[in-house]
Structure 1
Amino acid sequence: MTFMHQRPAMTYAPEGVEQFPDPEVPETTTPPIKDPAVETTDRSDVLARICARTRVDVEQRSQIMSLKEITLRAREVTAPTRGFGQALQHLTADRQVGLIAEIKKASPSAGVLRPNFNPVEIALSYQAAGATCLSVLTEGSCFHGSTDDIRAVREACSLPILRKDFILDPWQVHESRLIGADCILLIMAALTETQASELIGIARGLDMDVLVEVHDADELNRALALDTSLIGINNRNLRTLKTDIQTTLDLAPMVPPDRLVVSESGIKTQDDLLKVGEVGASAVLVGESLLREEDPGQAARRLLGFV
């Protein structure tokens, strides 16, 4: 793959009146863990524990707003989504590797990344740096995220937004449309093929794209049977939290050319970006290495080779 640099920031916001946020959507009931890196010292299966918390949270919030009600509300949204997959497809056509820049306050592997967390300020710096899309964490306990973060970022920026969370239930898919997400993440390690297929169908019916995340060859084969063109290869083992970009180098060549590959986690330098691009990645999803810097936008420019 040939790489072109010094491209301007690309935006895909369609015309139309925004309808977000829906003030009736109940907030998460899961309180943030003060220091998730300490709480998850026993890393035998971090994914399983977060998913367990998520199921409890969804069950509680669905008592406030039923699945029937949230489904009706989501179907009434007429503001168009911003074309997350379309933005990545443009990059592939231009033989570029794009940046999905992540916004999060904390993580189980790193603890609190930015005590003075301002998602809008970070989003604007990423957009100015040339990011293609944004990823916003909304999981509350380990990532200190909130659906309000997507609402605020969408109002301030025009880039397509991925809702990064542990989506396990149809209720969450409808909620994602109501808070302004353009794409959702589905983690194959947490879902059966039947569950993933159902959630994809709901998302597509609401005009949202779906990034299906895999960690190994078995999960990749399962993902390729699903009706989505976006394949995320996570270089972080969600059970141990260790990262190794070799995961992308091994799996990306196995992805058919009609799918778009996103390499997630462990991307720290432009050299890392170039390596995964050479094996077929259309974009990288990067958060921690950018958010550790005083100026995340400057760090994004450096990663893209603009400085």
Structure 2
Amino acid sequence: MNILDKIIADKQREIELKKKVVSINQLEATDLFNSRTKSLSKILANSNIGIIAEHKRRSPSKSVINFNHTVEDVTLGYQNAGVCGISVLTDGKYFGGSLDDLILTKATVNIPVLRKEFIIDEYQILEAKAYGADVILLIAAVLTQNEIQHLSQFAQSLGLEVLLEVHNREELEKAIMPSLNMIGVNNRNLKTFEVSLDYSKELSVHIPDEFVKVSESGISSVEAVKELQQFGYQGFLMGEHFMKTDNPGNEAKLFIQKLMSL
């Protein structure tokens, strides 16, 4: 069993336990559940920067990244730096995140917030809306074509945008459908954790133009962003590059300033 299989097995158990404690009715009764969401895809489509900065404390591949700052400090720093949106990892066991991180981010910033999670059930999408997400992530590697269609349509019915993550041509071909807003290419193989920007470059020509293209993971230089822009990418999801520093918000600010100067 690879790490991705382990995460999904744990996630299935976690969801079943949560359903016993917090009902769907309780999620739907929250103030945020009926609030209007912000469009990340529109912001990216009209931006020359396209940075989606991520709050991530640790990962299976890197262990501890940053436990020194509050989510409020990090995400406010990101917003002040001028990022287009913020990604918040909510998985606890493998990434050190929580739904509290999501709702605290929503209370801190006024730009679109993405719930970064291994979503396999409608319940998690209801959670995302109840805790303040504007966008959800769906990962093609762990979902069938029917599941992608069902979950993405359900998310959009709640006013949430959908970023669909793929890693290869096979995943992309099963995933292309109207109920997506953005298609992201993960430069990290979730089964081996090998990283290469070539994944984004090779898949770019196969992503239809009606979707905003997002490159995810392994981006650590302004030059990489500029190069990927030439392949049609308008969004760049970056977490570790900022989070591994003493001041993620300031690092993002310096990065964006350099990006704008080229």
TM-score tier, shorter chain, comes to over 0.9
- Specify the code of the residue in structure 2 equivalent to 1:82: K
Change (3 A) 1:74 1:239: farther
Q: Tell me, what secondary structure is at the counterpart of 1:233?
A: strand
Q: Partner residue of 2:240?
A: 288
Residue 55 in structure 1 maps to residue 12 in structure 2? yes
- 8 Å Cα contact 2:149-2:177 kept in structure 1: no
Of 53, 64, 72 in structure 2, the residue corresponding to residue 112 of structure 1 is 64
Q: What is the TM-score normalised by the length of structure 1? A: 0.80
Q: Tell me, what secondary structure is at the counterpart of 1:180?
A: coil
CA distance in 1 between counterparts of 2:28 and 2:35 reads 15
Shift of 1:74: 6.8
Q: Tell me, what secondary structure is at the counterpart of 1:141?
A: coil
Using the aligned pairs only, state the percent identity.
33
Q: Partner residue of 1:82?
A: 38
Higher helix share: 2
- Specify the code of the residue in structure 1 equivalent to 2:22: M
Residue 173 in structure 1 maps to residue 125 in structure 2? yes
Whose Rg is larger? 1
Structure 2 runs not aligned, ≥5 long? none
- 8 Å Cα contact 1:74-1:206 kept in structure 2: no
CA distance in 2 between counterparts of 1:76 and 1:247 reads 36
Shift of 1:82: 1.6
CA RMSD of aligned residues (A): 1.7
Aligned residues: 259
Q: Partner residue of 1:157?
A: 109
Structure 1 runs not aligned, ≥5 long? 1-43
Change (3 A) 1:284 1:148: same
CA distance in 2 between counterparts of 1:71 and 1:102 reads 25
Q: Partner residue of 1:261?
A: 213
Q: Tell me, what secondary structure is at the counterpart of 2:33?
A: coil
Of 191, 197, 201 in structure 2, the residue corresponding to residue 249 of structure 1 is 201
C-alpha distance after superposition, 1:159-211 (max 9, x if no partner): 10000000000111111100000000000000001111111111111100000
4+ long deviations beyond 2 Å: 69-78, 301-304
Shift of 1:71: 6.6
Matches within 5 A, 1:1-307: 45-67=2-24, 69=25, 72-73=28-29, 77-91=33-47, 96-304=48-256, 305=258
- Specify the code of the residue in structure 2 equivalent to 1:53: D
CA distance in 1 between counterparts of 2:30 and 2:144 reads 24
- Specify the code of the residue in structure 1 equivalent to 2:157: G
C-alpha distance after superposition, 1:56-115 (max 9, x if no partner): 000011112344x25743799321112222222222xxxx24100000111111111112
